[in-house]
Chain A
Amino acid sequence: MAEKKNDSISPTVEKVLDEYIAVLHADEEIDNEAADRLDAILRKGMVPKFDDIDAALFPPPNGDKP
């Protein structure tokens, strides 16, 4: 959410993502930080790959990072 404005996505996509992040935040079973990380990659203007989404939702514990 911090970097919401991205020229590479259209206003319509931005509208979808704005509403989407609000719904994710409202879902108590979804971690807010994970939702924010997912939001960030969706706003990059590229279609994310499996690993990108997985890393956003389930980042490895600190000790597992390379």
Chain B
Amino acid sequence: MIRIKTINIEEFRGIRDLALDLGGENFGICGPNGTGKSGVVDAIEFCLTGNVTRLSGEGQGELSVKGHAPHVDHRATPKKAKVSITASVPSLGKDVTITRSVKNPRAATIEPADPKIQAIIEELQSHPEFALSRREIAKYIVTPAAQRSTDVQTLLRLDHIGGLRKALVSYSNRCKREAEEAERARVRAESELKTALEIPTLDRNMVLKKANAQRSVLGLPALTELTPQTFFKEGAPEQGKDAKKPGVAKDVALADLTALSTAIHSAEPDDLKEHRESALASLKKLKKDEKALSLARAHGFITTGLDFVTEDACPLCDKPWDADELREHLRAKLLSAEDIGTLLEKFGNASDVIIGGIEARAAGIRKAAGYAATLDPNVSRAELDVYAKGLDDAIAALKAFEDDHSQIEGAIAALEAKWWEVPGDVQARVDETEKGVKALPDSSAKDKAVEFLAVLQDRYERLLATSKTAKTMAARNTTAQKVYDHYNTVSNKVLENIYDAVAKAFTDFYKAINDDEAKFIGELKAEPAKLSFNVDFYGRGTFPPGAYHSEGHQDGMGLCLYLALMKHTLGDKFTFAVLDDVLMSVDTGHRREVCRLLKTKFPNTQFVLTTHDRVWLQYMKTEGLIQNGQFFGGWNIDTGPRIWDDKDIWTEIQEALDIDDVPRAAALLRRYLEYISVVLADNLRAKVEYRGDASYDLGDLLPSTLNRWKDRLKKGIKSAERWGHGNTQGKLEETLAEAEKLIANSSAEQWAINKSVHFNEWENFAKTEFKEVADAFKALLDHIRCQNKKCGGYPYLIPRKGASEQLRCSCGAVNVNLKIK
């Protein structure tokens, strides 16, 4: 990631020509609404990614980057709309200049053309989340759980994990299906071999006995063992008189036809019936639930719909509904995911057996059709083929439902059809075929033996082949299931750890900005296709963030969750973020803590912060979050933002004195002291006379604040003395003495209390007289401020309520123990 040094924007959005110098540090942009602040954010996003979310994101309809990113006067000349950013790349120790024009948003000019730098810019493009706007906070907080799952997974770059899971489950499902098909083929082959041998169970000795009986008729030696290479016909003459047109093996054919007739005339086998009824019941239950034939498909949609019901209206068509009533209505349409899963599993198990039964019947019918066609005169096979085709269609319908649950009607029809009972015309053709075969002249004993051995060889080889395939498929299925199960277990464990880590970081961040919620916890819980997010509400339980917390708190949570996610996703690479008006939405009472959070928890991240609240910007400065900023004082279509520099107040006062403008210098000092008194009074919990209108002037705040400063130092001295920390005590005594001297030098009480003086007197001072006053206040405030240049913050008391325990600054250089032994 990068740290931005400068930004140059030309003819982009509402900006005509603007240069900002960030110096690679945190930077604040402040100005009233409509002055162009967000234009800068858009420019940064555009330069780094080629995109502007505000113009191309969800719900932006007809807006586009090419059409609407240029300044309105340059819509026809998009090449004039361009943004250039110079930045440092900390990981490489190099600088880079990126320039991008709206004319060709996809092509950025990157100098130097270093592949490593190029890779980093490409990574930025894949992380447009570095820019967070206030409205996007909702994406992480009040969004439906299903959408949150998608958004968070996208941010965490976890979508690929889901993609791999789908690929592996799809692979294992297909392997399972193919293994089942292969096993069914093996069972059929075994059944046909048994039919030909007229034996109830397959037994090696029995097979050899039957084969050798026929071989002895032909005067051939007996076979002694049964192996895959066994050739039953070894030494036998060619089958029949005309080897090219083998006849029907009468005995085998009769056995096949008898087996078929027996099956047709018998009642549906109990096992098959039970599975068929079970499968049918499952499908009917699915269908019955408010025509939920598409329930499996629509389940996610309805669940999302439930999440979207926040008002008394349908979230889809705006039709007025009582929210609770609508929720009940939707719930009534839903079977729980668990129920659906159980029903589908039941169906899957039963379907396998049913398909096996139908396939066996189809194979028997096809065999009969083959015999029918061979007879002379032949028996019409058309009816048999039509029936067999119907059985194939039934199998296809059951398989189609497994692949697409909306195909429920076909599956129900297949299960309801009495395929076990054959139509009259089919029965007639089977009977005619059986009769025809019976009428065939008996072959000689030797011909019979040859025919028998030929059929035996054919069916034995088929059984060997189907057994081999079934075994291979079963082994593949076992591996596929393991491969998927392992992936599922591992990825779930990793995701759970990630969510736990993110939830913990979120909790820490949120507690850091809300010191009245010490027991606060946040929970991220992954459920199928959704990510639940619940937070503690003052120890009364955990609830969705939108349930009880104020909008300000929710926005604070959004920021914290965003920071936790970015920290987890990018780790050390989280060196840059744009927070567009985000802090504004945080509760006023927690802004200082937010500044400290960003400063202390993300010391290596460059934040670009926009706000329309100048006081907020001052908070950022006094807390040391930002050193520099830019004020946007106004905007018009011809000139773009009107800016003025936010220079250091003392420099600004000096510049006014340099041109003998004492009144301006006095006004600046006055305004700054008013502001800083508020900050210090708050930091030090100064004892100020309460005013219902909260209108405190300098006289109300400054003396109390300075007294409080001295008082806290005295308490620190007392504590150090009690604990026996002599060195600390000595240093604090020196600080207190200095404080008293500087307060006296500034005559703070005089200026603050005497309204007639502080309103008028400074303005009438000579330049040198006022300079003395300003220098005295500067020295006083510098004395209070942390001396570490990287911190420079004003000390504050912790905790924020109750007895003060510690006086400290953000970096810890000021750290005064106030607990008395």
- Chain A residues within 8 Å of B, Cβ to Cβ: 7, 9-13, 15-16, 19-20, 23-24, 27, 29-30, 34, 38, 42, 45, 47-50, 53-54, 57-58
Separation of A12 and B497 alpha carbons in the complex (Å): 11
Given A13-B161, A42-B164, A50 and B491 contact (CB-CB distance below 8 Å)? no
Are A24 and B486 in contact (CB-based, < 8 A)? yes
Given A47-B167, A49-B167, A57-B479, A12 and B490 contact (CB-CB distance below 8 Å)? no
Cβ contacts under 8 Å, B478 to chain A: 29
Given A19-B494, A20-B490, A10 and B479 contact (CB-CB distance below 8 Å)? no
Given known contacts A16-B491, A24-B483, A54-B171, what 18 new A-B pairs fall within 8 Å (CB)?
Answer: A7-B119, A10-B160, A12-B161, A13-B161, A16-B161, A20-B490, A24-B486, A27-B482, A27-B486, A29-B479, A30-B479, A34-B479, A38-B483, A45-B160, A57-B476, A57-B479, A57-B480, A57-B483
- Chain B residues within 8 Å of A, Cβ to Cβ: 119, 156-158, 160-161, 163-164, 166-168, 170-171, 174, 476, 478-480, 482-483, 486-487, 489-491, 493-494, 498, 569, 571
Are B160 and A9 in contact (CB-based, < 8 A)? yes
Within the complex, the shortest CB–CB distance from B661 to chain A, in Å, comes to 57
Separation of A38 and B479 alpha carbons in the complex (Å): 12
Cβ contacts under 8 Å, A11 to chain B: 157, 571
Within the complex, the shortest CB–CB distance from A59 to chain B, in Å, comes to 12
Cβ contacts under 8 Å, A50 to chain B: 170-171, 174
Are B483 and A12 in contact (CB-based, < 8 A)? no
Are B157 and A10 in contact (CB-based, < 8 A)? yes
Separation of A27 and B487 alpha carbons in the complex (Å): 12
List the 3 closest pairs (A to B, CB-CB), nearest first. A10-B157, A47-B163, A20-B490
Are A53 and B160 in contact (CB-based, < 8 A)? no
Among the interface residues B161, B482, B490, B571, which one has the most CB atoms of the partner chain A within 10 A? Answer: B490
Are A48 and B161 in contact (CB-based, < 8 A)? no
Separation of A43 and B161 alpha carbons in the complex (Å): 11
Separation of A23 and B486 alpha carbons in the complex (Å): 7
Cβ contacts under 8 Å, A58 to chain B: 476, 479
Given A30-B482, A53-B167, A20 and B156 contact (CB-CB distance below 8 Å)? no
Separation of A27 and B187 alpha carbons in the complex (Å): 31
Separation of A34 and B479 alpha carbons in the complex (Å): 10
Separation of A11 and B570 alpha carbons in the complex (Å): 9
Are B158 and A12 in contact (CB-based, < 8 A)? yes
Residue of B nearest to A38 (CB): B483
Among the interface residues B157, B160, B170, B489, which one has the most CB atoms of the partner chain A within 10 A? Answer: B160
The main secondary structure of chain B at its interface with chain A is: helix
Residue contacts A-B, CB under 8 angstroms, 13 given: A7-B119, A10-B156, A10-B158, A10-B160, A19-B490, A23-B489, A27-B482, A27-B486, A29-B482, A47-B166, A48-B164, A57-B479, A58-B476
Separation of A29 and B161 alpha carbons in the complex (Å): 24
Are A48 and B167 in contact (CB-based, < 8 A)? yes
Cβ contacts under 8 Å, B170 to chain A: 50
Cβ contacts under 8 Å, B476 to chain A: 57-58
Cβ contacts under 8 Å, A42 to chain B: 164
Residue of A nearest to B119 (CB): A7
Are A23 and B490 in contact (CB-based, < 8 A)? yes
Are A12 and B489 in contact (CB-based, < 8 A)? no
Are A13 and B486 in contact (CB-based, < 8 A)? no
Separation of A12 and B569 alpha carbons in the complex (Å): 8
Cβ contacts under 8 Å, B174 to chain A: 50
Separation of A10 and B164 alpha carbons in the complex (Å): 13
Within the complex, the shortest CB–CB distance from A1 to chain B, in Å, comes to 15
Residue of A nearest to B488 (CB): A20
Residue of B nearest to A54 (CB): B171
Separation of A12 and B160 alpha carbons in the complex (Å): 10
Cβ contacts under 8 Å, B161 to chain A: 12-13, 16
Separation of A32 and B732 alpha carbons in the complex (Å): 68
Are A16 and B494 in contact (CB-based, < 8 A)? yes
Within the complex, the shortest CB–CB distance from B743 to chain A, in Å, comes to 54
Residue of A nearest to B163 (CB): A47
Cβ contacts under 8 Å, A47 to chain B: 160, 163-164, 166-167
Cβ contacts under 8 Å, B164 to chain A: 13, 42, 47-48
Separation of A45 and B164 alpha carbons in the complex (Å): 10
Are A20 and B157 in contact (CB-based, < 8 A)? no
Separation of A16 and B571 alpha carbons in the complex (Å): 17
Separation of A7 and B487 alpha carbons in the complex (Å): 21
Separation of A57 and B478 alpha carbons in the complex (Å): 12
Cβ contacts under 8 Å, A48 to chain B: 164, 167
Cβ contacts under 8 Å, A7 to chain B: 119
Cβ contacts under 8 Å, A13 to chain B: 157-158, 160-161, 164
Are A16 and B156 in contact (CB-based, < 8 A)? no
Cβ contacts under 8 Å, A24 to chain B: 483, 486
Separation of A38 and B820 alpha carbons in the complex (Å): 66
Residue of B nearest to A20 (CB): B490
Are A12 and B494 in contact (CB-based, < 8 A)? yes
Cβ contacts under 8 Å, B119 to chain A: 7
Cβ contacts under 8 Å, B479 to chain A: 29-30, 34, 57-58
Residue of B nearest to A27 (CB): B482
Within the complex, the shortest CB–CB distance from B155 to chain A, in Å, comes to 10
Separation of A30 and B491 alpha carbons in the complex (Å): 19
Residue of A nearest to B571 (CB): A11
Residue of A nearest to B172 (CB): A53
Are B486 and A15 in contact (CB-based, < 8 A)? no
Specify which of A12, A29, A38 is in contact with B157 (CB 8 Å cutoff): A12
Within the complex, the shortest CB–CB distance from A14 to chain B, in Å, comes to 10
Separation of A23 and B483 alpha carbons in the complex (Å): 10
Separation of A58 and B160 alpha carbons in the complex (Å): 24
Separation of A45 and B161 alpha carbons in the complex (Å): 10
Are B486 and A20 in contact (CB-based, < 8 A)? yes
Within the complex, the shortest CB–CB distance from A54 to chain B, in Å, comes to 7
Cβ contacts under 8 Å, A38 to chain B: 483
Are B483 and A19 in contact (CB-based, < 8 A)? no
Are B491 and A20 in contact (CB-based, < 8 A)? yes
Are A12 and B156 in contact (CB-based, < 8 A)? yes
Within the complex, the shortest CB–CB distance from B702 to chain A, in Å, comes to 52
Within the complex, the shortest CB–CB distance from A27 to chain B, in Å, comes to 6
Cβ contacts under 8 Å, B157 to chain A: 10-13
